[in-house]
Structure 1
Amino acid sequence: MAVRLAFILIRAQGGLESEILDQLKTFKQITQSYMIYGEWDIIAIAEYEKLPELNTLVLQIRGIPGVQQTSTLVVS
C-alpha cells in the first residue's frame, strides 16, 4: 500500500511546546515536527498507510499533556 502524508497542526499550552516536540519524536509515523508562529504552535508531518492508523496517531497526540487542540490536513 502507498504511503500517504498528513500535516498535523497542534495548539499547545504556553511553555510546553518543547516537551510536546520531544514526545512527537517518539512516534514512528512522525517524520518531522517544527515549532511555528501563528494561530498554531507546532506542525508535525506524518506518514501513514490507512486512515485508521492516522486516526490512532492523532488520538495519541491529543493525549500528550499540554496539547489543547489539533487539526489534521490530509495530502490528496
Structure 2
Amino acid sequence: MMVVGVTLLNVSPGAEREIYDDLRGRSDVREVLHVFGEYDFITIVEVEGLSRLNDIVDDIRELEGVVSTQTIIGAEMP
C-alpha cells in the first residue's frame, strides 16, 4: 500500500541549508518546503508501506541539526 508521510521539522539555527540539501537529495522525499512559523520544514515522503516510512523518518531524526519532528500519515483509500 502506498503511504504518504508529511513530516514537520524543527532544526537548529544555521543548519537549514545543510538539512534542506540533504532532504532534497533523498529519492523517497517527494517535496521539501522551507516554511515560516512553528516549523522550519515540511517534507512529503511517498513510499510503499509504513515500515519504509518509519525508516525514512528515523533517518531524518538522526540528522545533525534536526531538533524535533512531527509526522502525519496518509494512505490511499481501499
TM-score, normalised with respect to structure 2: 0.89
- Structure 2 unaligned runs (5+)? none
Instruction: Name the % identity.
Output: 32
Q: Give me the whole-angstrom Cα distance separating, in 2, the residues matched to 1:10 and 1:61.
A: 9
Matches for 1:1-76 after TM superposition, within 5 Å: 2-76=1-75
Runs of 4+, deviation exceeding 4 Å: none
Structure 1 residues 26-69: Cα deviation after superposition (integer angstroms, max 9, x where no partner): 22110100110111100000001111101100110011110000
* TM-score calculated relative to the size of structure 1: 0.91
Tell me, in whole angstroms, the C-alpha distance in 1 between the residues paired with 2:59 and 2:3.
19
Task: Report the 3-state secondary structure (helix = DSSP H, G, I; strand = E; otherwise coil) of the residue aligned with 1:75.
Answer: strand
- The structure where strand makes up a greater share of residues is 2
RMSD, aligned α-carbons: 1.0
Listed as ranges, the gaps of 5+ residues in structure 1 are none
1:4 to partner: Cα distance: 2.0
